[in-house]
Amino acid sequence: MGILEKMRLDGKKAFVTGGARGIGKCVATALAEAGADIAIVDMDLPVAEETAKEIAAATGVKTIAVKTDVTSQSEVDAMIDTVLGSFGRIDIAFCNAGIALNVAAEEMTYEQWLKVINVNLNGVFLTAQAAGKVMIKQGGGSIINTASMSAHIVNVPQPQCAYNASKAGVIQLTKSLAVEWIDKNVRVNCISPGYIGTDLILSNEGLKPLIEKWNAMAPMGRMGKPEELQAIVVYLAGDCSTFTTGSDFVVDGAFTCI
């Protein structure tokens, strides 16, 4: 089988958290283009439904939208039941939902800290654990979590200690699950994107004015586009990456190199 055929995901079943927009939507589209049926999992049901329709129309795969808050164990469990009810199995889980909060450490309330850790780290644990249980029973699967270059560096000038800590946690969680599930044929990897032009930044009035400063620091002089994360996730999802587990893929245009 040639490498391009091997990259195909025909017949596989995937869910993408934070799939309504941004990186999640873009990666979900790529997984669908590669042939996987897709569950768009997001808190924002109307946009998730739009995205699911758009992807089905563009690619011909089966899609569903599932309203889920990844910080709620009961909602995550219900989401898994819904996906299994529609697709019968789960081969690929892209645990990607995340939020950013920019508050100086000395002013951050405990509630703000908890909110970020809950979505970005606890949410990834809950969704990866729930997917892992299904995959262990099935005999295998691939989990891809979204960390960030913020797990590796302290971004400036915006203060974001909870975000940075949550993303560092995602990498070590990813490695821990990969080792625990090595004999179960469940692979677990993560991606660490640099700045990517999505609503997370473009709809954040505090962050938008910083783009020029970040671009001046960036070796490529620009942010990344969500499309520039598609291929790495398709690779990790499928049968080209059977020796790849416990790895973190930094995709940042060399931002963290300098």
Q: Give me the active site residues, please.
A: 148, 163, 167
Minimum separation from the CB atom of position 225 to ligand NAD (A): 10
**CB nearer to ligand NAD: pick between 14 and 20:** 20
**CB nearer to ligand NAD: pick between 8 and 175:** 175
Minimum separation from the CB atom of position 187 to ligand NAD (A): 20
**CB nearer to ligand NAD: pick between 73 and 138:** 73
Minimum separation from the CB atom of position 234 to ligand NAD (A): 16
Minimum separation from the CB atom of position 26 to ligand NAD (A): 8
Q: By Cβ distance, which residue is nearest to ligand NAD?
A: 98
| Residue ranges that bind ligand NAD, judged by CB under 6 A | 17-18, 20-24, 42-44, 68-71, 96-99, 119, 123, 146, 148, 193, 195-196, 198-201
**CB nearer to ligand NAD: pick between 148 and 189:** 148
Pull the structure tokens for residue 233. Answer: 């996730």
